[in-house]
Structure 1
Amino acid sequence: MPNIKSAIKRVKTNEKANAQNSQTKSTMRTAVKKAETAVLNKEENAQDLLKSAIQQLDKAASKGLIHKNTASRKKARLMKKA
């Protein structure tokens, strides 16, 4: 544990940011998996899940959690499966 006040603050903010980033990434991955399974099983709500997954990918890319090209590639692959 750091002794310097600013270092203590950084540890706290880093923990908060890490928790938030993990949550957003997890939500994104879940949305992508749900969309993929819905498309493969030809479910009725596949288009809605696909739209949701694309939104989550865009959100993660805009926050810098994943690279914008990675998001673009994942979206393209999802659309190709659909």
Structure 2
Amino acid sequence: MPIKKAGLKDRKQTVKRTVHNKSQKRKIHDLTKTAEKLIEKKEQEAVNKVKEAYKAIDKAAKNGIYKKNTAARKKSSLMKKLNKMGK
């Protein structure tokens, strides 16, 4: 447990950031899984879900929640699956 005021404040900020980052990662996970399920069923709505997931992943990378290469890998994986659906 921190003793100084600055330590207490830092701890509060860390907890707040952690909660926010986890919620964003959860949102991306849910969007990705939904898109993958729609791709498996070969539904056209999958394209819209992939776009939503792309947007969320890009925002997360911009805000430092994901590293640049992690975001690129997630987007690439999603797009590969979507392209397979078309064939």
Aligned match of 1:59? 59
Q: Distance in 1 between the 2:46 and 2:36 partners?
A: 8
Show structure 1 runs of 4+ deviating over 6 A.
none
Quote the offset at 1:44 in angstroms.
2.8
Aligned residue runs from structure 1 range 24-39, under 5 A: 24-39=24-39
- Could you tell me how far apart the structure 1 residues matched to 2:32 and 2:5 are? 41
How far residue 28 of structure 1 moved from its aligned partner, in angstroms, is 0.8
Deviating more after overlay: 9-18 vs 65-74: 65-74
2:32 counterpart letter in structure 1: V
Unaligned runs of 5+ in 2: 83-87
1:80 and 2:80 are equivalent in the alignment:
yes
Deviation at 1:7, TM superposition (A): 0.4
Q: Which runs of 5+ in 1 are unaligned?
A: none
| 1:14 paired to 2:14 | yes
Letter in 2 for 1:30: D
1:47 and 2:47 are equivalent in the alignment:
yes
- Partner AA of 1:69 in structure 2: N
Paired letter, 2:14 = N
Identity of aligned residues (%): 39
Alignment root-mean-square deviation, CA? 1.0
Q: What do the CA deviations read for 1:35-81 (whole angstroms, capped 9, x no partner)?
A: 11111111231111010011111111111111111111211121111
TM-score (norm 1): 0.92
